[in-house]
Structure 1
Amino acid sequence: MTAGDWVLGVDSGGSGLRIALARAGDGRVVENVSSREPVPTGPRGIEAAALLRQLLPAAEAMRRRAATVGPPAAVAIGAAGMATLGDDVRAVLPGALEQALGVRRLALAADAVTAYAGALGQRPGAVVAGGTGAIALGTDLTTWRRADGWGHLLGDCGSGAWIGRAGLEAAMRAHDGRRGGSDALLARAEERFGPADGLPGALYPRTDRAAVLASFAPDVARCAAEGDPVAADVLARAAAHIAEAAAAVCPDGEGCDVALTGGLFRLGDPLLVPLAKALADRLPHARAVSAAGDPLTGAVTIASALASGSLRLPRDPRLLEVRPSGTSGGLRPDAT
């Protein structure tokens, strides 16, 4: 491929870094690589230097294998925490990528935006991205609407961490003999984490508490599938939260497309059945559609659209920032 014929899409999340090299014209992925080492965060948020240490060698190796010539037509980077923890990335990446790869068109996106673009492309609608956390994002292609995604202490209602925490609370209620407890969830919790009275000491000091809580969500789903009413109620409440977030971000008007994306929805029928009912109740005129792809697909979609000048998703200083070609001072902020 010659200069301008290829793009890079990047997805940086809690499970690591994924990079795809694709043809600029049609977005067809030629090669992708992944690393299980997540990009750390520091006092200025996501550490740009750490991201570059993984991204640049991988991109250079992909370029050689794909026999590309010259710089990419565009690069799109989607990162967890970009909306609130992206100061270092915004300050460092444009100049560094221009110098290292000759990047002249760059999109910096929150991972919710790449999840949206992967699921629905560039059409109006709403997407709920669910995993350890949960966020809903919707657009009418003029502005973005966001609901939740505030982390496991302030929100992420209905997420894997929320389900796991609610399940463990029910386990501890059973341990204490309080109302609302579940012996089935208590047994699962002790099987996974050890004696119940040792759980606070094992959980509270952890820096990855949200992930640990989310690791219990599949146990909650299994208990619900086996007929435990407390576990089933946890998942019904999670479904109501997810539907509420989707309703908050759906564009006005009839027939909003709603897609679900992320590992949370692999919990299966114990979550999906009450969620279908909750969505029908809250959004009776919406269309539930399958997600076309994942956040890496979304990053490639954004990069390809940026390369061709057809990017229609709304620009936003926190959610989707586009940097066009610059001068010796690096890429300049978009003036449009």
Structure 2
Amino acid sequence: MTGGRAGDTPAGAGAASAGPAFLAVDSGGSGLRVVVGAAGPRGAQARGASRTPVRTGARGIDPGHFMEQLLGLIRPLTAEAGIGRLDAAVVGAAGMASLGDALRAELPDALARELGVRRVVLAADAVTAYVGALGPRPGAVVAAGTGLVAVGTDLTSWRRADGWGHLLGDSGGGAWIGRAGLEAALRAHDGRDGGSARLLAEAEARFGPAAGLPGQVYPRPDRPAVLASFAPGVGACAADGDPVARRILRSAARHMAEAAAAVCPAGGTPGPLVAVTGGLTGLGDPLLVPLAEELQRRVPTARRVPAEGDPLHGSVRMATDLAADTFTLPGDDALLSVVDRSR
């Protein structure tokens, strides 16, 4: 566990009087990140993280393992921030939309029982990524990391595109780019059309001899992450001018723009806000230049803006509003559920 403090007020220095207290959580493939704090400009905050991801099983995301992880983080953080009771909690979790039934059924009661929380929002990480990037404004956000999902809202309902995982979708995401790059490398190894000697050299520098690639990928339980680890290699080859790598990134940009167009709210003047967030933005111009062109072609009225923050930032924004009773985002059976036992 790692911890730290953020905010203008030192931990324990009147946090309770600064405003109602909140818990914000970002749960993903790399573990849990947590913020506890008090709403308002004088509110102290304390942050912690665990590098152990929450387990998934036959019931989806495991609520028991989630609470075990969370409680180990929360108790020292509430003391650090000088917070006695938590008024509201927002949990953003990867897989919430398709694997979150058990969490939705059990987590509100567990948070009330263990932490006294009466108001709870359970959200897909795509929603917290949206709020982190744009805040409570209408528009669309493409979250592009290992996977890829786009979410849009007109502030009356949510729309989602892709996010179906590396076997069924996530088109244009890091695993998709890495897999396409490795396929092109193996085509070059075999002497088939569509191969890239530059990508083959990059793949062998990272993974060893090409003939051993299946053994590096197929047995791994973290296959999406292994595939995505080659996306920067594809970006480097594209930056060097490799035509195959450039085509891969152009295709990824097209998929990302298609997902954004599918969720953009219609109408309105000026046009909808669109932001792109996630680790793939680190590939730079080889991806971002064709992405800007594809977005212009598919959503010509969109106003591209930089993402303001990440999914944890979105969870904190949402939790602050929930604690202050100013939460206005629309609910959704899969993407965002609200439980309020304070009324």
Same fold per superposition (TM over 0.5)? yes
Amino acid at match of 2:133: A
Give the corresponding residue for 2:341. Answer: 325
Given the alignment of the two structures, is residue 60 of structure 1 paired with residue 72 of structure 2, yes or no?
no
RMSD: 1.5
Give the corresponding residue for 1:291. Answer: 307
Q: Secondary structure at the match of 1:18?
A: strand
Counterpart mapping for 1:196-235 below 5 A: 196-235=210-249
Shift in Å at residue 201 of structure 1? 2.8
Q: Secondary structure at the match of 1:9?
A: strand
Q: Which of 245, 250, 256 is the equivalent residue of 2:264?
A: 250
Q: Secondary structure at the match of 1:317?
A: coil
Aligned mates of 2:133, 2:43 — CA distance in 1: 16
Q: How high is the sequence identity, in percent, across the aligned residues?
A: 61
Amino acid at match of 2:167: L
Any stretches of 5+ residues in structure 1 without a counterpart? 327-333
Cα distance change on mapping 1:29 and 1:12 into 2, 3 Å: farther
Counterpart mapping for 1:161-200 below 5 A: 161-200=175-214
Given the alignment of the two structures, is residue 107 of structure 1 paired with residue 147 of structure 2, yes or no?
no
Shift in Å at residue 90 of structure 1? 1.7
Amino acid at match of 2:48: V
Shift in Å at residue 17 of structure 1? 0.5
Q: TM-score, normalised by structure 1?
A: 0.94
Q: Which of 30, 47, 55 is the equivalent residue of 2:45?
A: 30
Shift in Å at residue 43 of structure 1? 1.0
Aligned mates of 2:299, 2:109 — CA distance in 1: 44
Given the alignment of the two structures, is residue 51 of structure 1 paired with residue 71 of structure 2, yes or no?
no
Aligned mates of 1:304, 1:36 — CA distance in 2: 25
Give the corresponding residue for 2:5. Answer: none
Q: Secondary structure at the match of 1:141?
A: coil
Amino acid at match of 1:231: A
Q: Secondary structure at the match of 2:149?
A: strand
* Greater alpha carbon shift after TM alignment, 32-41 vs 302-311: 302-311
CA contact (8 A) 1:24 1:73 kept: no
Shift in Å at residue 91 of structure 1? 2.3
Q: Which has the higher contact order (CA 8 A, sep 6+)?
A: 1
Given the alignment of the two structures, is residue 12 of structure 1 paired with residue 21 of structure 2, yes or no?
no
Q: Secondary structure at the match of 2:205?
A: helix
Cα distance change on mapping 1:235 and 1:40 into 2, 3 Å: same
Shift in Å at residue 209 of structure 1? 1.0
Amino acid at match of 1:142: T
Q: Secondary structure at the match of 1:235?
A: helix
Q: Secondary structure at the match of 2:45?
A: strand
Q: Which of 110, 119, 125 is the equivalent residue of 2:133?
A: 119
Q: TM-score, normalised by structure 2?
A: 0.92
Amino acid at match of 2:213: L
